[in-house]
Every structure is written in structure tokens, then in C-alpha cells.
Amino acid sequence: MEDELYRPIFSKLSRSVPMTAEERSALRALPIQPRLFPRRTEILRQGESPSQSCVLVRGHLCRRKQLPNGRRQILSFHFPGDIPDLQCLHLPELDHSLHSLEESLVGFIPHKSILQVMREFPRIADALWRQMLLDACIFREWIANMGGRAGYERIAHLLCEQTIRSQALGIDGRYPLFFNQQDLAEASGMSPVQVNRIIQSLKSDGLFSTEGQFYQTPDWNGLLRAAEFDAAYLNLETPRTPERNA
Amino acid sequence: MEDELYRPIFSKLSRSVPMTAEERSALRALPIQPRLFPRRTEILRQGESPSQSCVLVRGHLCRRKQLPNGRRQILSFHFPGDIPDLQCLHLPELDHSLHSLEESLVGFIPHKSILQVMREFPRIADALWRQMLLDACIFREWIANMGGRAGYERIAHLLCEQTIRSQALGIDGRYPLFFNQQDLAEASGMSPVQVNRIIQSLKSDGLFSTEGQFYQTPDWNGLLRAAEFDAAYLNLETPRTPERNA
DNA sequence: CGGCATGTTGAATCTAATCAATCCACGTGG
DNA sequence: CCACGTGGATTGATTAGATTCAACATGCCG
């Protein structure tokens, strides 16, 4: 129903700034045009100048950059409630593309409507600003991850991040395996072969396991330790209860 | 004199959004407290929660992250007019530190004043928002650079970026060598030894040369080619077009 | 059943990290 | 004026980690 369209963005925004009834209804008045994308589909193309922003309702997306040398780099993964292209609200053209990783439901909102709501409700503007900052925090952490950690730790770190972000959505124990090893390779800047070997080590070290379209973290604290993971950069004030565990 | 304090930020902001006289005087009314830092000094510490933002007036800065494994990662370089910690305006604590690379003059502005001006002058808010987005563009390009390019190209790319940003300030021909090889290593995620060898190759390939505290690019197009550099992500020349009225 | 996407493996190769010296330019103080 | 200290750049030798290529396995789905 229509509720499904607004719930993810509501809960994401109000996680950073509690909202009044008035603000909620202003958000709900935003015209959102839903569109369903099959898995592994291009949603926005590098170089485009969209006049709408989009919010992810269901599924998982990634942002990706195409390099002239033929390599592709994944810049971020996205979960329901994310607004991946707040990034281009004031920029002339998109410096990256947006793809679905699974079948995903995406809602489009005209820039004009967003700007209008921001003008009228400064707290909503603040909340959106804050979302952008959180995005940038993750970018910075990725830079540090790629520049400062060796393969094993780097992959572990990626897995920690995705796991925590799933947890923030209330998922626990079994997490959706929305990425494959090729994706991890493109996200970490390593070859698929190397990623495969690292994943195997992680599994045999008891830090990671898969089962169908889900993965688990049999030793969550061990994984955190291996990754040197400090969740502070995600700024999720919903601090996770550390051990759901088996 | 006071002019020096405001000129860099003026010219930076008005490069993205032309300003009315009223907006200019609103900016000039911002209380800026100047402070001079010697070279290689910590300006903001990772974990702090400053209540002021700062604008770089003269010199060069870098943002840096300290990893638990002891390595340090440089996240960005900064030029006069930059506002490095717009990033933390709405965030509880700083995820990185800020350092001077040379002797630098930095102006501090209370968050409160900035927020107030933004509320009162939406176009200034837009201009600041846009600065943040540009920052994020550079982060993304760095991720792609580190993940998708080998050493030689990666260093060439870093050099291209810094050169273009110097050019945007009107410098031409001889550029300030505000970074050393250790800095390039920390920025590129490589060892100082490797950076040294790459710099030597670049020099012997006629793409880069140094002379005292300056460097030159004897074959600028060659350097661009070696780096696969596409300046689009810096969004320098393109003024804004889109629909920002309502 | 066949086709396709994904994951797995081995071997050869190469890039970059590491360690440990050394060198050089420059500024300082005796 | 020279000795010295320092920060930065340079070098060679060795090793670890990652890439590449090519092949093969597996599971899913029409």
C-alpha cells in the first residue's frame, strides 16, 4: 500500500531527528512515484541530470563509478530508507551510476518538491543535511579502509558495515546476502579471485557463513575484532545489542 | 586586514552561486575569529565536538584518519576558501582530524552564526550545501582512484587534482609543493618507498618536476593522460543551472 | 536437459610492502 | 666557519600479498 512507500524514509529520518505530526504529514504529502526494478538493473546513469531524487523502499542498491581503464568501482551499498541521490540535488550531472542489486522498489520525488519542503520545514532540511553527512562519513571510512587495511581486514570491515546497517533495520541473526563476491571485489578494489580466497579464510576462521540467500556471523565479536571495526562512523544512535548470537 | 579573512570564502562561494550585495554583507557580518597555525599542527582532533566551523584563509590543510592498526590515512587536501568541517555541522563528533601542512591562517565561525545565516539566506544555504556535495564528489573519486588504479596512475591522479585546484585559485605554471612524499603515501594508501619510486618515474617520464617549494607539470596533457584524469568530478567551471526557485 | 551466473582452484607473475641503510639540503649553535 | 641534527628523499634486497589467466564445479531456472 501507500504506507509501504513512506515507512522506510520515515523511520530513517526520524531516527536522526524526531518529527512532529506536522512534519510527518508534510513528508507524506510529497509526491512519490514508485517504480519496481528487476535485480541488477541500472536506475540512474553516470552523466545524467535527473530532476528527481529517489528513495529506496525495498531491496538493495549500489552506487558505482565506471573508470576509463574499464574497471568499475562500487562506492556504496544502500538499504531501504536511503536517499542515494540527495548527492545530486544541487549538482549539474551525476558522477556515478545507481544500480539495483536485487529486485528493488524505488520511489521518485521531484527535486522541486523536496526543496520546497526543506524551505518550509527547516528541521526536515536539517535531517536531510544530516543524511548527506552520514553518507560522507561512510565515504571517508571507505577511503581509510581501502588505503589502510590489508585484504582480509578490508573485507571483514565491509561485512561488518553491511551487517550493522541490516541490524539498524531490525534484522537480526540472518542477514540478506544482497552482494556476491564480484560485488565485494568491486567495492574493495581487489580481484574476485582474491576476494574468494579471503571469504574462504573468513569462513574457516568461523567469522562468516552463508546459507542460501542469507549470511550469518557465527562470531560477531571476532569479526569486529578482525575488521578493527568501530561503528562510531555510522552514527547510529540505536547502539546494537552486541550479541544476539546462537 | 579584515579583507584577507573574507576574500577566499567569498570567491569560493560565489564561484558556485552568484551573490547579491545583501548576501555578501550577510557573509561579511559573520564573526570570524582568525588563528594562525604553524606548519604540521593539529587543528581539530578526531573525536572532538567543535561548536565552530572553520574556513581556510591561507595555507594548506589535510583531513586525516587514524586507524586502530597504527596507519594514518589522508582523506583530502584543502585550499584557501575551503570549509573543511561543514562536515560536522550536524554530527555529534568528528570522525577525523584536521592538520595544517604549511603555516596556515584559519578562521573560526560559530555553528550558531552559520545556521542563522543559512536560515535567513536560502541561497547561502544552497551554496554551502553545494560545497558539501563537491566534497563528497572528491571523496568518491578518491575511492575510485584507490580501488581502480595502479600506483603510477593513482599518484598521477592525485597530482592532477591538486594542480587543478591550484589553478582554480589562479595559480599557474609553478604550483605550491605543500605535500611531501610521505603525505602522498598516506593519501594514496601506498608505502613511502613506493611513492618515491613512482615520483621518480613520473619525473623521468617528463610529467612532473620539482624546484624548491614548487612543482611543475612540464607535460600537462601527458599527466592528464597518464592519470586518466577527467576533471568533471570537481565541478569547477560549471555554474549552476537548475530550478532553484519556489 | 542446457545455459548461465556464481563460486572455486592452481600456477605463474608482478606489484608493492618491508627493512635497513644512506644521502642530501638546510638550519642551528658552538 | 664548521659540526651537527633533522626531515625528507633515495636505494637495494627480500618477501608477502594480490593479479592474472584458464579451467573446472556447482546450483538454479527456463
CA distance A123 to B118: 13
Q: What is the pLDDT of residue B87?
A: 78
Could you give the angle at the alpha carbon of B180 between the alpha carbons of B178 and B184, nearest 5°?
A: 105
- Is B146 near chain A, with CB under 8 Å? yes
Q: What is the mean pLDDT of chain A?
A: 91
Residue A245 scores a pLDDT above 50: no
Q: What is the pLDDT of residue A31?
A: 93
Q: What is the pLDDT of residue B184?
A: 97
Q: What is the pLDDT of residue B229?
A: 94
pTM: 0.93
pLDDT tens-place string over residues A63-103: 999 999 999 999 999 999 999 988 778 888 999 999 999 99
Nearest nucleotide by C1' position to the A210 CA atom: C7
CA distance B129 to B113: 16
pLDDT in tens, chain B (246 residues): 567 888 889 888 888 788 889 988 999 999 999 999 999 999 999 999 999 999 999 999 999 999 999 999 999 999 999 999 887 788 889 999 999 999 999 999 999 999 999 989 988 988 998 999 999 999 999 999 999 999 999 999 999 999 999 999 999 889 999 999 999 999 999 999 999 999 999 999 999 999 889 999 999 999 999 999 998 888 776 433 343 333
8-state DSSP, B232: G
Percent of chain A at pLDDT > 70 equals: 95
Q: For A119-128, A173-182, A212-221, which range has the lowest pLDDT when averaged over its residues? A: A119-128
Q: Which residue has the higher pLDDT, B190 or A10?
A: B190
Residue A2 scores a pLDDT above 70: no
Q: What is the pLDDT of residue A200?
A: 96
pLDDT tens-place string over residues A198-242: 999 999 999 999 998 999 999 999 999 999 999 888 877 643 333
Residues 6+ apart with CB under 8 A from B29: none
- Is A194 near chain B, with CB under 8 Å? no
- C-alpha closest to that of B195 among B182, B206, B208: B182
CA distance B89 to B79: 20
- C-alpha closest to that of B229 among B168, B152, B174: B152
In angstroms, how far is D29 C1' from B185 CA?
49
- Is B90 near chain A, with CB under 8 Å? yes
Q: What is the pLDDT of residue A126?
A: 87
Residue A244 scores a pLDDT above 80: no
CA distance A56 to A106: 5
pLDDT tens-place string over residues A139-173: 999 999 999 999 999 999 999 999 999 999 999 88
- C-alpha closest to that of A16 among A117, A135, A109: A135
Q: What is the pLDDT of residue B101?
A: 96
3-state secondary structure of B63: strand
Residue A122 scores a pLDDT above 50: yes
Q: What does strand C contact on the protein, if contact means CB under 7 A?
A: A 40, 180-182, 192-193, 196-197, 199-200; B 150-152, 189-191, 193-194, 212
Residue A182 scores a pLDDT above 70: yes
In angstroms, how far is C1 C1' from A17 CA?
57
**Beta strands A33-37; A104-110: pairing state:** antiparallel
Sign of the four-CA dihedral B13, B18, B24, B27: negative
Sheet holding B209-211, edge to edge: B175-176, B214-216, B209-211
Nearest neighbour of A133 by CB, restricted to B87, B134, B189: B87
- B246 and A119 within 8 Å at the Cβ level: the answer is yes
Nearest neighbour of B240 by CB, restricted to A90, A130, A149: A90
Q: What is the pLDDT of residue A242?
A: 39
In angstroms, how far is D13 C1' from A141 CA?
35
